[in-house]
Amino acid sequence: MSEDRVSYGFPLPEGEVCPTGSFRLNLDTGLSEWSDGLFRIHGYERGMVVPTMDLVLAHKHPDDREAACQLVTTLIRDGGQGSNFHRIIDSKGHEHRVLTVAEADRDEAGRVVTIHGLTIDLTRSMAIESGHAAASALVNAYATRGVIEQAKGIIMGFFNIGPAEAFTVLSKQSQDTNTKVSALAARLVEAADNGAVHPILQRWAAPRPGHAKGTLSRRR
């Protein structure tokens, strides 16, 4: 699996991007393929560990482990896509706040056999946002910006597009529904937290011709 080709800036200084990793889980063997970025998010280098579902769950924050299991269970049962925000504890004991977007792959018989997707580490961007929010005059501005950036991240992962295109999708939906961008972004983030973002984004227009709505492009 090649290293991830999309950079996620979110509210970070210019030139700095959120660490990102991709994965593919084989449900028959329980083994995963990880990109180098995903190894690093978990505190490893390639070759140090063998990625398995047990290893993935072991690195989830205890309070978030059940939701992670539920996401996998839902994808196996229903197929399609899913996403959630959760925390990862890396090999050094450091906590990472991440967004994972995943999609189920079926075989010719219609059975879900693999799950692939990507994980974006939002820890640094959220820390910066919190630091800015400490200045009372900027609390509302940065809170709104943070929600919009998180919503953009969800759209980017769902449609496999860049930040500018994601904001275009969000803005168009805002205009079509006569809803403020910040309010629409907040609803999208809340839906992602509740595992209900897939039906919402399926109703939104694909961002560009030839790009299948609601389908993550597979990285090879």
Residue 46: predicted pLDDT? 93
pLDDT tens for each residue of 97-120: 888 888 899 999 999 999 998 888
pLDDT at residue number 16: 62
pLDDT band at 164 (very low <50, low <70, confident <90, very high): confident
pTM of structure: 0.56
For residues 9, 12, 13, 19, the Cα torsion angle rounded to the nearest 10 degrees is: -60
Least confident of 23-37, 40-54, 146-160: 146-160
Is pLDDT of 54 > 80?
Answer: yes
Q: Which domains does the chain have, with CATH numbers?
A: 20-124 (3.30.450.20), 138-202 (1.10.10.10)
Rounded percentage of the chain residues whose pLDDT exceeds 90: 27
Q: Dig out the tokens for 90 from the structure.
A: 């890396």
Of 11 and 144, the one with more pLDDT: 144
- Strand 95-106 and strand 112-121: the pairing is antiparallel
DSSP codes joined into one string, the chain = -PPP---B-SS--TT--B-EEEEEEETTT-BEEE-HHHHHHTT--TTSS--BHHHHHHTB-TTTHHHHHHHHHHHHHH-SEEEEEEEEE-TTS-EEEEEEEEEEEE-TTS-EEEEEEEEEE-HHHHHHHHHHHTSGGGHHHHHHHHHHHHHHHHHHHHHT--HHHHHHHHHHHHHHHT--HHHHHHHHHHHHHTT-HHHHHHTSPPSSTT--TT-PPPP-
83: closest CA among 171, 199, 167, 184?
Answer: 199
Residue 215's pLDDT band, with cuts at 50, 70 and 90, is: very low
pLDDT at 125 exceeding the cut of 90: no
Contacts of 159 (CB under 8 A, 6+ apart): 165, 166, 169, 201, 206, 207, 211, 213, 214
Give the whole-angstrom CA distance, residue 27 versus residue 170. 34
> What pLDDT does residue 95 have?
93
Among 1-15, 42-56, 199-213, which range has the highest average pLDDT? Answer: 42-56
User: Which band of pLDDT confidence, cut at 50, 70 and 90, is reported for residue 195?
Assistant: confident
Average pLDDT, rounded, for the chain: 79
